[in-house]
Amino acid sequence: MSRNCIRNAPETRAGPKPLAGSVSYIAATDEIRLELKTGVALVVPRRLIDELRDAPASHMHDLTLIADGVVLASEADDIHIFVPGLVRDVIGDFDLRCVGDDRPSERPRSAPSI
């Protein structure tokens, strides 16, 4: 049976937007580094990614991005992780529909009053 994980894929006609531009494995600290197309880099301890926690460390150097950066894959382990779902799991729940959207918001946000 496949160990695929496509988390919370948004249902749109165009499909999910590309999110990650690159992925690498940092063996010294056992961390996965994802560079998002927004320029933000996330470094995540592998133990925090359920799908990769028990996969052999030797397979982490072969991680790839597929579907134009929407899915993080370990083909050797038949693992596919929806990148926006992974980001949400790591940094918390927020509206991912705006990630990578270059359009200005309708109403500018102001800093909270102190």
The pLDDT of 43-64, averaged and rounded, is: 97
CATH number of 20-98: 3.30.2020.40
Q: How confident is the model at residue 13 (pLDDT cuts 50, 70, 90)?
A: very low
pLDDT of residue 105: 52
* Alpha carbon distance 20, 34 (integer Å): 7
pTM, rounded to two decimals: 0.68
90-101: pLDDT as tens digits: 888 655 455 554
Question: What are the residue ranges spanned by the domains of the chain?
Answer: 20-98
Half-sphere exposure of 65 (CA within 13 A, CB side): 20
